[in-house]
Structure 1
Amino acid sequence: MSLQASASSIKDALASYLAWLKEIDEDEFVQSPPGGGWSYSEVFCHVIQVNVRSMLAAERCIYAKFGHRTSGPNLIARLILYMGKFPPLKIKAHAKVVSIVKPVTKEEARNDMLVFCNKLQDLLPKLMKVPAHQRTRHARLGMLNCEEWLKFIDIHTRHHLKQLERIRKSS
């Protein structure tokens, strides 16, 4: 999948998130599901935070000053990027990531999604010019280039749409 295709898929997924926001009232949005776990609000916060951080990592590839990198994504990352989805296991988010998740309002979630989408649109032409050997580190997946970062953002964003559906079914 090219950078342009990944960006388009991300935008489609974000449109789905925005549609969710229209369907859910504010009280339901911030309420934790009966079986425990994150509320819709916390899922939105997490997706936005991880996507923004991942976009910053992709942007750092533009300005990377290190030479040719032979190391790339680790084996698990290669499989995830190839398959276009996370494995069908429950994966715990890194403790650092979980610690910064907080409830947000529907308006904050919507605004943050739109800001992210605009940032992606603005950054895309620059990302398309970055050589594939310019990489930055992902804590679990290894060294990713711009194209891999966008694929990760797409996979991560679509993954959490499934989580929103699980929350809906548990309510």
Structure 2
Amino acid sequence: MAISLLSQFKQDLDGYTERQLRYQAAIDVWSIGQMYDHIIVVAEEYADEIERCLASHEEQPLGKTEFGERLFQAGGFPPIKIRLPDEMNQPPNNTDKRETLERRLDELSARLMRLEPIARAANPDVKAQHGGFGWLNAQEWYDLIEMHSRHHLRQQADLERYLMEAGI
């Protein structure tokens, strides 16, 4: 599912001009390019955690936090805007050209295609810790990539609306 969602983001990317990719409706509102950068960076971080789980043989008895349990039971993030604390909320890169974002999405998709069957077959008791969601196994980290990316679809629609309102 994560791969098909990334494929949709890549397809959508073709419809944006360079100006549209960088446009920010307000100082505290990301551009579409920043949203793409954020999705890619976070997915790469989560893929690193999948690989950490796959490289380890140490089983972890601890599980998810209460929020992590609710997130996975719901199958995704609640339909709200989530703002991280300022120290964790550095603005994403707003300089990548469309071709760079496309290449990064392609590289990420290839990595996830390789990891998906391995994560599915991995020992579910080998886990890595997420700061907010608790201890996640390789398959859960993989699922989190899709949940996180899907969460940004609403943001994408908002950003596209801002472009239309600005006549860009």
TM-score normalized by the length of structure 2: 0.89
What RMSD, in angstroms, separates the aligned Cα atoms of the two structures?
A: 1.7
Partner of 1:134: 126
**Cα offset for 1:12?**
1.5
**Cα offset for 1:90?**
2.0
Identify which range, 120-129 or 78-87, moves more after superposition. Answer: 120-129
Indicate the SS of the match to 1:57.
helix
Contact 2:63 2:134 in 1 (8 A): yes
Deviation string for 1:70-112 (max 9, x for gaps)? 2111111111111112123321135465326211211111110
Partner of 2:23: 31
> What percent of counterpart residues are identical?
22
- Which of 148, 151, 161 pairs up with 1:156? 148
The ranges of structure 1 where at least 4 consecutive aligned residues each deviate by more than 4 angstroms after the TM superposition are 94-97
1:15 aligns with 2:7: yes
Indicate the SS of the match to 1:23.
coil
Partner of 1:93: 84
Contact 1:30 1:105 in 2 (8 A): no
Identify which range, 43-52 or 85-94, moves more after superposition. Answer: 85-94
1:144 aligns with 2:143: no
Structure 2, unmatched stretches of 5+, are 164-168
Alignment of 1:106-145 (within 5 A): 106-145=98-137
- Work out the CA distance in 1 between the residues paired with 2:79 and 2:27: 20
User: What is the count of residue pairs matched by the alignment?
Assistant: 162
- Which of 42, 56, 72 pairs up with 2:63? 72
**Cα offset for 1:34?**
4.8
Contact 1:62 1:127 in 2 (8 A): yes
Deviation string for 1:101-151 (max 9, x for gaps)? 211211111110000000011222322331100000111111100111111
